[in-house]
Structure 1
């Protein structure tokens, strides 16, 4: 079976590279945690006060909770791997980090796909019998779909610890201008097993997300064109809202696809540790949940109003 072997030590990493690898993903994670924390808090408060929550808001809250955990784990793994490389590269520690990371990633991508499917079914206007049947049943199905996705993510993540990665130490690397040797940790990746595990876990939600986003964009664009043809005034708030929705969904789709590619390259150990390619993958992976949460806040009227109210209250208290 094909294998990729990479160096896992960072003894020769420069201070500038270390700072960039720590600071940029760290800022992205903190930004995402603030954004997703705000989404969770807003919906949790509404749920507590009214004793009910719409299906879309509940799904969004679950997605944001999973992203909070993912971003915390991303920041922990990135910091730990850079500051404590020898401890991180112990076989059991390395595999534990990767399994939890993949479980949170799988769950995150599944939940994002289901949220997109829900929006598509509830908003898009298609007359196909199957689509109309789903429109009636999707609300009751969502809790079961989310629980099933979490279970599937766990089932696909656990085999990674057994069949994909193996970390071992080579203690016979000679040190230049010295009679001593140094330890180097080597990460061996079984590419075939990784490709099977990765695509089983992510291919279905990827197709779901792309399909639902495409259908929703087509439906919204058709509806926007109809409103544009029937518009009597120069400014139509409803049409602007639809165009904004098309742009937001298109942005979601780009974020999702870029994250898919970066995650594939990073987890397959295609690039050497601390190389430009590896650092870029980390930045994209941490940017996706942060960027998507910000887009969700500003594309959701309720969240946008609450965010503006929060900003106003913060400014008021700072002035007084």
Structure 2
């Protein structure tokens, strides 16, 4: 891969990461200022702030990893730096995934309306429910760390094994790596299913609410709009999350399989859309953040 192409990929990736840091930084700054000013913070703002802070750290880790891999790959040969980067990426990836999942659950419990006693019980204890889900997710973290350590060890072998033995070495490891990759993908299944369930139940609640409005000959109210906004937010998260997971898994697999740096970098550029672009979707979907961002843009314009 030519040096010019490497620089081009790094420039595009750096632009994405800078935008993501600015977007997440804006979310965190606005909510922290409101927290200090009011002396309290809502559950939604707390989740958004935690998500923004975790994503800023994740984006810096990705930026570091991209430059080392693109310009100084020999630094990963020793393995120490790579293990630190893998640990930080796994931890921040876990936090961002579960903060976003808890946000989807929060939208469902706050906006949906069902008469079932179990839903009413969950709705009345929304903060405790979210805390249980978030803390419970850390039982999966050791498994995720162990899998990532195995994957990174195989990744580092690409730098350690002499080129003449690389083909044989990779052939012996591909089956093992595929099984490890499958286990890694399973760590994303639980948060994905929780968010998907929240979306489906929100849709069911909207359908029931719409039917009640039609029976009562009532015009569309604020609850209908809240349902639609929440569904858009959860749907955007799920779509970007799917793209992120697939591109991340493919990036590592294809690099091990065909050793094409440009393919891996292209997939990294695609995967970075999730932590960077989702922050702007959150800003547009939150009335407070959207109004402050609009005022800030007008101020910068003039």
Q: 1:50 aligns with which of 23, 34, 38?
A: 38
Q: Which residue of 2 aligns with 1:213?
A: 199
Deviation at 1:83, TM superposition (A): 0.9
* Distance change in 2, residues 1:271/1:313 (3 Å): farther
Deviations 1:87-126 (A, max 9, x none): 1233233233223212211221111111101111111112
5 Å matches for 1:13-28?
13-28=1-16
Q: 1:247 aligns with which of 216, 232, 236?
A: 232
Computed over aligned residues only, the root mean square deviation of the Cα atoms, in angstroms, reads 3.0
For residues 220 and 299 of structure 1, the distance between their equivalents in structure 2, rounded to whole angstroms, comes to 18
5 Å matches for 1:169-318?
169-171=160-162, 173=164, 190-191=176-177, 194-195=180-181, 197-224=183-210, 227=213, 230=217, 242-268=227-253, 269=255, 272-316=258-302
Task: For CA contacts below 8 A with separation 6 or more, give which structure has more relative contact order.
Answer: 1
* Distance change in 2, residues 1:193/1:238 (3 Å): closer
For residues 88 and 179 of structure 2, the distance between their equivalents in structure 1, rounded to whole angstroms, comes to 18
Deviation at 1:192, TM superposition (A): 5.2
Q: Which residue of 2 aligns with 1:105?
A: 93
* Distance change in 2, residues 1:240/1:158 (3 Å): closer
TM-score by length of 1: 0.79
> Which structure shows the bigger proportion of residues in helix conformation?
2
Deviations 1:273-313 (A, max 9, x none): 44454223202221101111110100110110111121122
Q: 1:69 aligns with which of 57, 63, 85?
A: 57
Verify the 8 A CA contact 1:272 1:278 in the aligned structure 2: no
* Distance change in 2, residues 1:237/1:16 (3 Å): farther
Deviation at 1:61, TM superposition (A): 0.8
* Distance change in 2, residues 1:44/1:64 (3 Å): same
* Distance change in 2, residues 1:137/1:159 (3 Å): same
Q: 2:122 aligns with which of 116, 128, 134?
A: 134
Q: Specify the SS of the correspondent of 2:188.
A: helix
Alignment length, in residue pairs? 292
Q: Specify the SS of the correspondent of 1:90.
A: coil
Q: 1:78 aligns with which of 66, 74, 90?
A: 66
Deviation at 1:19, TM superposition (A): 2.4
Deviation at 1:157, TM superposition (A): 3.7
Q: Specify the SS of the correspondent of 2:187.
A: helix
* Distance change in 2, residues 1:38/1:210 (3 Å): same
Q: Which residue of 1 aligns with 2:29?
A: 41
Q: Specify the SS of the correspondent of 2:57.
A: helix
Q: Specify the SS of the correspondent of 1:159.
A: helix
For residues 48 and 214 of structure 2, the distance between their equivalents in structure 1, rounded to whole angstroms, comes to 31
Q: Which residue of 1 aligns with 2:77?
A: 89
Give the unaligned 5+ runs of structure 2.
none
Q: Which residue of 2 aligns with 1:160?
A: 147
Verify the 8 A CA contact 1:213 1:253 in the aligned structure 2: no
Deviation at 1:84, TM superposition (A): 0.4
